Amino acid sequence: MARGLLSRACMLDKTLSLFAVTLLACQSAPPVPSSSTPPAPARDPRLAVLDRMTAAIHAKDAHALAALYADDAVIEVAGGRPLHGRAEIEAEIAAMLQPAEAIKVAIARVWLTDDVAIVENVFRAHHGVASPLYDIGESELSILWFDRDGRIAKEHSYRDQPTLEAQAAGEPDAAELPVLPEEPELHIASGPTDAATLSWVRDVEAKWDTEDVDGATHSDDLQLDCMSGHAHLSSRAEAVAALKHWRTAFPNQTNRPSNIWRVGDYVILEDVFSGVQHGDLGSIKATDRPVAWHWAHVWKLASGKITRAWQWSNFDELYRQIGAPPRKDGAKQVRPACSIRA
**What are the boundaries of each domain within the chain?**
2-21+42-188, 195-322
Neighbour tally for 129: CB within 10 Å:
6
Q: Could you read off the pLDDT tens digit of each residue along the chain, which spans 342 residues?
A: 544 444 333 322 222 233 332 222 223 333 333 445 455 567 899 999 999 999 999 999 999 999 999 999 999 999 989 999 999 999 999 998 988 999 999 999 999 999 999 999 999 999 988 899 999 999 999 999 999 999 999 999 999 999 999 999 999 999 999 999 998 999 999 999 999 999 999 999 999 999 999 999 999 999 999 999 889 999 999 999 999 999 999 999 999 999 999 999 999 999 999 999 999 999 999 999 999 999 999 999 999 999 999 999 999 999 999 998 887 766 677 767 666 543
Query: Phi/psi class of residue 128: alpha, beta or left (left: φ > 0; alpha: ψ in -120 to 50)?
Result: left
Query: Are 155 and 3 a contacting pair, CB within 8 Å?
Result: yes
Helix axes 161-168, 315-322, angle to 10 degrees: 100
User: One fold for both 2-21+42-188 and 195-322?
Assistant: yes
Phi first, then psi: give them for residue 295, nearest 5 degrees: -135, 155
Of the candidates 257, 317, 311, 25, the residue with the CA atom closest to the CA atom of residue 141: 311
Q: What is the pTM of this model?
A: 0.85
Q: Locate all alpha helices (DSSP H) within the chain, ordered by sequence.
A: 2-6, 45-58, 62-66, 86-97, 161-168, 195-207, 236-242, 244-249, 315-322
CB 83 within 8 A of CB 75: yes
* Confidence (pLDDT) at 17: 31
Rounded distance between C-alpha atoms, residue 1 and residue 71, angstroms: 14
Predicted confidence at residue 336, as pLDDT, reads 74
- What is the distance in angstroms between the CA of the first residue and the CA of the last residue of the chain? 17
CATH of domain 2-21+42-188: 3.10.450.50
Count the Cβ atoms, other than its own, within 10 Å of residue 62: 22
Question: Any idea which architecture 195-322 has in CATH?
Answer: Roll (3.10)
Beta bridge partners of 257: 271
